Amino acid sequence: MALEKIVLADSRRVFANFRRKMYTENQLSYLIRGDAFKVHSALGPGLLESVYETALEYELKILDLEVRSQIGIPMHYQNILFDVGYRLDLLIENKVIVEIKSVDSLIDIHHKQLLTYLKLMDKKLGLLINFNATSLNKSIVRIANHL
């Protein structure tokens, strides 16, 4: 009986994954931006990055998107692979990296950081979102890596 339940649960999981829609990077970008506006409208500016990250992750999961947070990226140095290195904020559907900031203004190094993550993870699209702004309209930057 227990084995039947496990098999049934596994088949449901496989079927649910089969039914999930496959999104392009551009479609995901649209959904992520929409939820970022929703989070910003609810919370406003001035909070810690971790607060916005948690809220955005929650909203994206409501859309049944696969969301991974605080993913470690290994560092290569002198032909040695180190486990400590970089840590990206969110990876959506294994396609789009979201880097969240809560700063007075985005500077060049923030853009370069996201581009580095895209290259290291071999991803095509990233969104840099600064929630510490009165309006998100000019605080979401889309960065492409051979998209």
Partners of 76 in the β-ladder:
81
Extents of the domains making up the chain: 25-144
Our CA dihedral for 76, 82, 84, 86, rounded to 10 degrees, sits at 20
pLDDT given for residue 12 in this prediction: 47
Secondary structure tally for the chain: helices H, strands E? 4, 5
**pLDDT tens string 104-115:** 999 999 999 999
- Cβ distance 67 to 91 under 8 Å? yes
Q: Of 95, 98, 87, nearest to 142 (Cα)?
A: 98
Name the residue with higher pLDDT: 9 or 69. 69
**Alpha helices (H) along the chain:** 2-19, 25-43, 49-62, 108-121
pLDDT in tens, 40-84: 999 999 999 999 999 999 999 999 999 999 999 888 889 988 887
Indicate if the pLDDT at residue 4 is higher than 80: no
CA-based R_g, the chain, Å? 17
Query: What is the mean pLDDT of the segment spanning 89-93?
Result: 98
CA distance 99 to 82: 22
> 141 is written with which tokens?
């930057």
Query: Edge-to-edge, what's the strand order for the sheet holding 67-77?
Result: 67-77, 80-92, 96-101, 125-130, 140-144
Name the pTM for this structure.
0.83
Residue 48 per-residue DSSP state: -
